[in-house]
Amino acid sequence: MDNFSQLESIKETIVSFNLVSLMHQLEVIEKLLSDSKTIDIAVLGQFKVGKSSFINSFIDYDILPVGVIPVTSVITRLSYGDAERAFVKFEDGKETEIKLTELANFIDESKNPENKKKVAIVDISLPSFVKFKGLRLVDTPGIGSYHRHNTETTLNWSPELGISILAISSERPLSENEINLLKDLLNYTPKVVILLTKTDLFDEVQMNKIKVYIISSLKKEFNRDFALYEYSTKKGTNDKRSKIENELIEPLAENIDNELQKIIEHKISNLKKETVNYLEIAHQASLKAESEKEKIKALILDEKMNFDYIIRELRLISNSYTGQTRLGLVNILMTYRTFIIQRLFNEFDSEHKSWNGNLYRLTRKFEEWGNKILHNELFTLSDGHHYQFIENLQKAKQHYAHFLKIFRERLNQNIEDVFKIKLENEEWQIDIEEIRQPDIIISRAFDFHLDLLWFLFPMCFFRKTFIKHFRKQIPSMAETNLYRLASDYTERINREILKIERQAEQNINIELNTIESIISNDENKSSYILKKIQTLKI
């Protein structure tokens, strides 16, 4: 059975049994089969093991930001292009080209903390990659640091990797976190190599001991050998770079079609295995008596898995964030109130001198000026602080993601305790739409249509009076629109938070219904499920 046929069979089962947690893997494979001619070589590992430094050194170009604290906050991909260019793709699907000198603004944790700018991925094209056409070197956020979102970003992206380079620092070789990460990586790629960084810190005897320790530990844990490469950005760099190029990178570039085939086959095999695990749960449950099924259901869907309990928890998350949105926005915006009003005063004092005509025309000039200048001021403010304004939404998204992760882990542990079948803790995707900037609206200069009685007020006598009247309106005009801006942002942000809540609720509901459905299968379906399992195992 070819890859397309296998995937169609797996997809039919996933859809039939509503196996939502496997949909992301399925979509990745479908994309690879449809249009991929690129192999992603991802550099992964704990925070501060030198991933970005390795990439900069390996391509001989200091393009990625590095530092003494965790730096990389988003997935960054480097590949061949006929010119040096960089593109930022945001979570809402929008894409923009940036200068290479601006990269840090989007991928540096200190300049884009917790990825507040909602960057999905950054793509960099370099002419120097010409000899590696078809390969894409991927820098990933480090796992295990204080910044939990960095770990989640890397793990969520992992199903898409083609080849994995697991970076391990010579300073702290092979932790439990790295063993667990390696287990996850092997689900998605047939080829994982070990990159031992910072090797200049130890002499040759010490390095041999470190390498023996890592190789023997991995052999014991996985019963297989892993290629191990040493790397230092300070000592023997050229030789170490050449070894990696000759033994790993160039063979991949020369055999892209065959390597892609291996990657796709590996991903299909893993997806098939996970699908079969679900079916085996369903098959075992179908053989149980009804009374046993109820006991099993009670063990798996315990009180913490109760849908009403979960709904209450989701509501609490929503309420805690939606209740904070407006106050947070008002506090931010009001810090700029005095500055904006003063700018408006300055502009008004300069502009009104050129306004001519009767009261009606003077009023229209003021309203047009107010609309234009305040729109520019608040748009600039909103544009410059947009990501600060939606910080509450980002925090809500991260909270929901963490809640869903804990839910999956608990549910899968309960299933493993009952059926002795281990399901993968797949991450659900949480999508948020773009929060657009609200419009600016300026009210009329007079509470009633005094300006229509313009013929009663000759400007040679009353101009200064009306100019003073217009000027007095500026503070309330600015403040009203600042509050309105806060209200509009609040409405849009809270609407998005509630959408995320419904999305999380829907995912959990489908997963619980899936588990309950496969546990509740009657004996008449037993042979059907068994046949499905046998078909997938072929």
Q: What totals of helices (H) and strands (E) does the chain contain, helices first?
A: 18, 9
How far is C-alpha 470 from the geometric centre of its chain's CA atoms?
Answer: 48
Mean pLDDT of 121-149: 79
| Beta bridge pairs of residue 85 | 125
- What is d(CA 400, CA 381) in angstroms, rounded to the nearest whole number? 29
pLDDT of residue 454: 44
CB count, 10 Å around CB of 252? 19
Read off the tokens for 88. 């930022």
Q: The tokens of 245 are what?
A: 């190029």
Q: What is the mean pLDDT of residues 390-412?
A: 86
Calpha distance 441→366 (Å, rounded): 14
Quick check: 263 pLDDT over 70? yes
Q: Name every residue whose Cβ is closer than 8 Å to that of residue 451 and which is 6 or more positions away in sequence.
A: 359, 360, 362, 363, 364, 445
- pLDDT for 441 beyond 70: no
Residues of 343-353 as b/e, b for ≥16 C-beta within 10 angstroms?
bbeebbeeebe
Mean pLDDT of 241-270: 91
Architecture of domain 37-254: 3-Layer(aba) Sandwich (3.40)
Q: Is the pLDDT of residue 455 over 50?
A: no
Residue 506: pLDDT band (50, 70, 90) is confident
Least reliable range by pLDDT among 136-145, 157-166, 218-227: 136-145
Please tell me which residue, 41 or 306, carries the higher pLDDT value: 41
pLDDT tier at 164, thresholds 50, 70, 90: very high
Residues of the chain with pLDDT > 90, as a percent, come to 24
- Residue 487's Cβ-count burial label (10 Å; 0-12, 13-18, 19+) is middle
Q: How far apart, in Å, are the Cα atoms of 415 and each of 96, 99, 172, 423, 512? A: 44, 50, 35, 8, 12
138 is written with which tokens?
């991927």
Per-residue confidence (pLDDT) for residue 445, from 0 to 100: 46
Alpha-carbon distances of 141 from 145, 172, 323, 396, rounded to whole Å: 10, 18, 32, 21
Mean pLDDT in residue range 285-307 = 75
- Whole-number mean pLDDT of the chain? 82
Count other Cβ atoms within 10 Å, centred on residue 299: 12
15 vs 22, 131, 273, 357, CA distance in Å?
10, 42, 16, 71
What pLDDT is stored for residue 161 in this prediction? Answer: 84
Contact between 387 and 118 under an 8 Å Cβ cutoff? The reply is yes
Higher pLDDT, 209 or 376: 209
**DSSP-based three-state secondary structure for 226:** coil
Residue 454 CA from chain centroid, whole number: 59
Q: Specify the pLDDT at position 447.
A: 46
CA 213 to chain CA mean position, Å: 35
pLDDT per residue as tens digits for the range 34-73: 876 889 999 988 877 888 889 989 998 888 887 645 556 7
- What is the C-alpha to C-alpha distance for residues 381 and 481, in angstroms, rounded to an integer? 12
Specify the DSSP element, H or E, that contains 193: strand 192-197
- Lookup: tokens for 194: 């070990």
Work out the average pLDDT over 17-28. 82
State the distance between the two ends of the chain, measured CA to CA, in whole angstroms: 9
- pLDDT at residue number 377: 83
Whether 497 contacts 321, CB under 8 Å:
yes
Higher pLDDT, 86 or 144: 86
Q: Are 161 and 182 in contact (CB under 8 A)?
A: no
Q: Residue 179 pLDDT more than 80?
A: yes
What's the gap between Cα 497 and its chain centre? 16
> To the nearest 10°, the Cα dihedral for 182, 184, 185, 187?
130
